């Protein structure tokens, strides 16, 4: 049965999608069966996996709102070895349409049930908000991966997210835990980043992943080719770090 993880941080541009897409590719390269769920109306994980978000017959929106099955809506892009549940801007409407639905936080969880045996990992790329969509992600998941840049305000934003995770754990999903904090876009030459990284380790100890993802332009270029960095340029420093991250995730999951 699949282990389900959200990649979440309510800030935008902190590396969620890059992490979700590259972790999916990295786990697939380790022969894991992976489903990547795009839970962001921006559809960046969809495009970054090589799917044209404007040309999808079905998307996650219809799964959440219209009762289309996940089996019918998922896709296998040509260039990658994992499945994708695509999203596009229609998904923004789900936020409103779900409000009146019973058990509205658990709709995604319900939809996932039928495919859970098909995968070893389900990764959910969350939108940059603590919204009903993100809640659906958190209510479906066994754990949360939090990518973060080691910047001055990073720790401050973190407490809101950690509090939300605690509340979801207490009220909606007893299985939910923080799997780890992933330092991304890291530049060791910047003293402040080193300092914030040290603070993170003091505060969160073993919850900080060992792997550090460097700032690397190949990771930023890959989406414009519709490819994860790990597939686009496997030998780049960024890709190598995400490949290592896949191995570290496998170890953490074994220890769960
Ligand atoms: P989010 O999903 O949290 O909004 P993204 O993953 O889309 O964040 O990343 C924001 C931007 O930073 C994107 O343009 C992405 O290509 C770039 N980026 C992400 N990680 C790295 C990295 N390690 N090195 C260089 N650029 C990165
Ligand atoms: Mg994103």
Domain spans in the chain, listed from the N-terminal domain onward: 3-39+113-254
- d(Cα 249, Cα 251) in Å, to the nearest integer? 5
Residue 156 has pLDDT above 90, yes or no: no
Q: What is the 229 CA–ligand 2 centroid distance (Å)?
A: 15
Task: Report the mean per-residue pLDDT for the chain.
Answer: 96
Residue 256 has pLDDT above 90, yes or no: no
Other beta carbons less than 10 A from residue 170's beta carbon: 10
Alpha-carbon distances of 38 from 21, 23, 189, 223, 252, rounded to whole Å:
10, 14, 33, 14, 23
Residue 107 has pLDDT above 90, yes or no: yes
Measured from the CB, is residue 70 less than 6 Å from ligand 1?
no
% of residues, the chain, pLDDT over 90: 94
CA-wise closest residue to 194 among 233, 149, 250, 229: 149
The reported pLDDT for the residue numbered 153 is 82
User: From atom 24 of ligand 1, which residue's Cα is the shortest distance away?
Assistant: 215
The reported pLDDT for the residue numbered 152 is 83
For the full predicted model, state whether its pTM sits above 0.95. yes
The reported pLDDT for the residue numbered 157 is 83
pLDDT digits (tens, 9 = 90+) for 172-204: 999 999 999 999 999 999 999 999 999 999 999
Alpha-carbon Rg for the chain, nearest whole angstrom, is 17
Measured from the CB, is residue 13 less than 6 Å from ligand 1?
yes
The reported pLDDT for the residue numbered 53 is 96
pLDDT digits (tens, 9 = 90+) for 18-70: 999 999 999 999 999 999 999 999 999 999 999 999 999 999 999 999 999 99
Average pLDDT in the 208-224 region? 98
**Fold held by 3-39+113-254:** Rossmann fold (3.40.50)
Q: What is the 130 CA–ligand 2 centroid distance (Å)?
A: 13
HEC profile of 105-173? HHHHHHHHHHHHHHCCEEEEECCCCCCHHHHHHHHHCCEEEEEECCCCCHHHHHHHHHHHHHHHHHHCC
Alpha-carbon distances of 95 from 100, 107, 212, rounded to whole Å:
10, 12, 34
Measured from the CB, is residue 20 less than 6 Å from ligand 1?
no
CB 252 within 8 Å of CB 5: no
């Amino acid at each position: 049965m699949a282990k389900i993880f959200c990649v979440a941080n309510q800030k935008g541009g902190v590396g969620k999608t890059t992490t979700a897409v590259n972790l999916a590719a990295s786990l697939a390269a380790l022969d894991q069966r992976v489903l990547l769920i795009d839970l962001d109306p921006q559809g960046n994980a969809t495009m970054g996996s090589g799917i044209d978000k404007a040309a999808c017959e079905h998307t996650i929106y219809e799964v959440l709102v219209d009762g289309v099955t996940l089996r019918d809506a998922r896709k296998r892009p040509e260039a990658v070895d994992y499945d994708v549940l695509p999203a596009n801007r229609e998904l923004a409407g789900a936020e409103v349409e779900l409000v009146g639905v019973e058990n509205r936080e658990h709709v995604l969880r319900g939809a996932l049930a039928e495919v859970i045996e098909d995968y070893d990992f389900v990764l959910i790329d969350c939108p940059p908000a603590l919204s009903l969509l993100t809640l659906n992600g958190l209510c479906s998941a066994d754990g949360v991966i939090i990518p973060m840049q080691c910047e001055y305000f990073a720790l401050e934003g973190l407490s809101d997210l950690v509090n939300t995770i605690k509340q979801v754990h207490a009220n909606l999903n007893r299985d939910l835990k923080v799997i780890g904090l992933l330092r991304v876009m890291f530049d060791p030459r910047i003293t402040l980043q080193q300092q914030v990284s040290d603070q993170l380790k003091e505060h969160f100890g073993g919850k900080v992943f060992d792997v550090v993802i460097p700032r690397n332009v190949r990771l930023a270029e890959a989406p414009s080719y519709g490819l994860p960095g790990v597939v686009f340029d496997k030998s780049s420093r960024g890709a190598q770090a995400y490949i290592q991250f896949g191995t570290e995730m496998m170890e953490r999951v074994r220890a769960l």
